[in-house]
Amino acid sequence: MFYDLHIHSCLSPCAEDEMTPNNICNMAFIKGLDLIAVTDHNSTRQLRSVSRVASELGLHLLYGAELESSEEVHVLALFGSLEQAESLQPWIDEHLPVIPNRPDFFGNQLLMNEEDEVVGKEDRLLIVSLSASLEECVQAIHDRGGRAVLAHVLDRANSVTQQLGFIPMDLPYDGLEIKSLEQMARVTKTHPWITADSTVWFVDSDAHRLTEISEPEQTITHEAVRKLWGDIL
Ligand SMILES: [Zn+2]
Ligand SMILES: [Zn+2]
């Protein structure tokens, strides 16, 4: 199955307003992707309308969010059901500092329905660190049945290697996200306890605009999906 498990909607201030539920799902569908995840910064509030559009198209969806830990590390929370993902929202609300968004400076944080009509906006700025450590973020994801994937692990901004210097050996993450398969060799070389087979590797787009959504290049097997998220396909 062709996948892209890191896509921002127009709820993320840094994403374009064109990242509507219908535009994202239709673009993924047209490109021939089989499985996508929408992962807004510190929020699950766009997922319900995205899930309605995806199911209309027969597109498989994981329900995500990109959490930012107190160490400023980005970690993807990926759930097999909307209910699981939404059960994380009260925890996020509790740990999100109350800083008002300034749309003129940071960008809009739009909530849309399944018709792409603006039905609200998030007033608190979403691109900030939660008051929870990386370990606590992973625990909160696991407590609700989700999987934790360390995002863009070799990036210069908000990656585990940039913020902590390395990938902690005892952190119980479920997968590592890289920008290309060549990065896998760099990770395993600098972290001898990580091998090609010791974790699940994801290559996602981290799309903030429509054209950035992945081409059908990266694949995941049904078996791998079942192992991580159960019988969701
Ligand atoms: Zn990120
Ligand atoms: Zn992202």
**Which residues neighbour ligand 1 (ion) by CB within 5 Å?**
74, 151
Looking at all shown ligands, the one closest to residue 4's CA atom is: 2
Q: What is the pLDDT of residue 124?
A: 98
Q: What is the pLDDT of residue 201?
A: 98
Q: What is the pLDDT of residue 186?
A: 96
Other CB atoms within 10 Å distance of the CB of residue 16: 19
Distance (angstroms) between ligand 1 centre and the Cα of 226 equals 25
CA distance linking residue 156 with residue 31, whole number of Å: 29
Distance (angstroms) between ligand 1 centre and the Cα of 30 equals 25
Looking at all shown ligands, the one closest to residue 207's CA atom is: 2
Average pLDDT in the chain: 97
What is the radius of gyration, based on Cα positions, of the chain?
A: 16
Distance (angstroms) between ligand 2 centre and the Cα of 18 equals 16
Distance (angstroms) between ligand 2 centre and the Cα of 6 equals 6
DSSP class per residue in the chain: -BEEEEE--TTSTTS-TT--HHHHHHHHHHHT-SEEEEEEET--TTHHHHHHHHHHHT-EEEEEEEEE-TT--EEEEEESSHHHHHTTHHHHHHHS---B--HHHH---EEE-TT--EEEE--B-SSS--SS-HHHHHHHHHHTT-EEEE-STT-SSS-HHHHHSS--TT---SEEEESSTHHHHHHHHH-TT--TTTSEEEE---BSSGGGSPPTT-B--HHHHHHHH-S--
Looking at all shown ligands, the one closest to residue 150's CA atom is: 1
Single-letter code of the amino acid located at 187: V
Looking at all shown ligands, the one closest to residue 206's CA atom is: 2
Q: What is the pLDDT of residue 181?
A: 87
Token pair of 53 as six digits: 């559009």
Other CB atoms within 10 Å distance of the CB of residue 175: 18
CA distance linking residue 188 with residue 121, whole number of Å: 41
Distance (angstroms) between ligand 2 centre and the Cα of 59 equals 21
Q: Within 13 Å and on the Cβ side, how many CA atoms surround 195?
A: 2
Looking at all shown ligands, the one closest to residue 159's CA atom is: 1
Question: Consecutive sets of 10 residues in the chain, 233 residues long: mean pLDDT of each?
Answer: 98 98 98 98 98 98 98 98 98 98 98 98 98 98 98 96 97 97 95 96 98 98 97 93
Distance (angstroms) between ligand 1 centre and the Cα of 181 equals 18
Distance (angstroms) between ligand 1 centre and the Cα of 130 equals 14
Q: What is the pLDDT of residue 18?
A: 98
- Residues 198-220: pLDDT tens digits? 999 999 999 999 999 999 999 99
